[in-house]
Structure 1
């Protein structure tokens, strides 16, 4: 988390990051993903653009990182670390209600 862009770190609250082996069939189906495609990560929660002053006393939003596909696709530990970082940044983008174009600029260090 220390390597995430400052804009994210300063605004993150009430998020749990968990690691699971693989996305299950139900999750893949929910996302419209069919094998051999899979997920590296998934955000579940209410993004901050959809919260109002009454939002509180809730369980944390969850970012799930799927270890199996990352290990399978990464050539080495350095690439694995980079995939995890990019995945976490992407999923945090959903927490902030960002669109894909904005998330890609942040991932590329442009913002």
Structure 2
């Protein structure tokens, strides 16, 4: 799957987020990159499908809006393509990954996401 089609799958996953939930998302940007690049001190073999970076809504206080940069959600294309054997699997995994990372924006923990089946 090429980048344009993958971007379309991410866009479709975002459009599928219920309107009342999407309306509560605040100051968050979505990016697509080919691969996760582990930082200094991280295991060089780390593979991520998505990554949320920012301050969850549940941790924001009145100080937060004063010049804070947007939260960042990145969806990594190559690991998703590598684990899927067909287009429908890619579309499903993109949706799961997008929901998973947006849930972190709302303050839902990794453990709770696994309990809910979005791990």
Residue 73, structure 1, aligned to residue 83, structure 2: yes
Residue 58, structure 1, aligned to residue 71, structure 2: no
Moved over 4 A (4+): none
Residues matched between the structures, number: 104
Give the TM-score normalised by structure 2. Answer: 0.74
Is contact 1:46–1:61 with CA below 8 Å preserved after alignment?
Answer: yes
- CA shift, 1:71, in A, is 0.8
Q: Which residue of 1 aligns with 2:36?
A: 23
**Secondary structure in structure 2 of the residue aligned to 1:8:** helix
For 2:41 and 2:87, how far apart are their aligned partners in 1?
26
Superposition CA RMSD, Å: 2.4
Give the TM-score normalised by structure 1. Answer: 0.78
Q: Which ranges in structure 2 are unaligned for 5 or more consecutive residues?
A: 1-13
Residue 94, structure 1, aligned to residue 107, structure 2: no
Q: Which ranges in structure 1 are unaligned for 5 or more consecutive residues?
A: none
